[in-house]
Amino acid sequence: MNRANRIICDQTGKILLQTGEATGDVLEHDEITELHCIDVPYGSIDYIKNRIVGINIETKQPILEEIPVYVSEAEKEKQELENQLLLLTNQEIGGGIL
């Protein structure tokens, strides 16, 4: 199955989004019967921690999803070793650090 390149543009013809063509087991584009837009104020969302997954049409507010933090096995092991070192140091000093 081939999917067409859907282009969304503003009233002047300026392209805002292109989906690109696709082939294979891809879904057809949904039929659009209405378009809505909102402006999210600059700096109001921390895009490192969250992503916009939709818009609440009634409230005109973005629906956010927290981006899971990936921690590698090496980082987990490093953190565990640092914690063990802190506990040992604390025990040797007699409870002075923690």
C-alpha to C-alpha distance for 5 and 30, rounded to whole angstroms? 13
The dihedrals phi and psi of 70, each to the nearest 5 degrees, come to -90, 125
Q: How many domains does the chain have?
A: 3
pLDDT at 55: 93
Range of the domain at 8: 1-35
Query: In terms of Cα–Cα distance, which of 31, 67, 61, 37 is closest to 49?
Result: 67
If asked whether residues 61 and 46 sit together in one domain, one would say yes
Low-confidence ranges of the chain (pLDDT < 70): 95-98
pLDDT of the residue at 96: 59
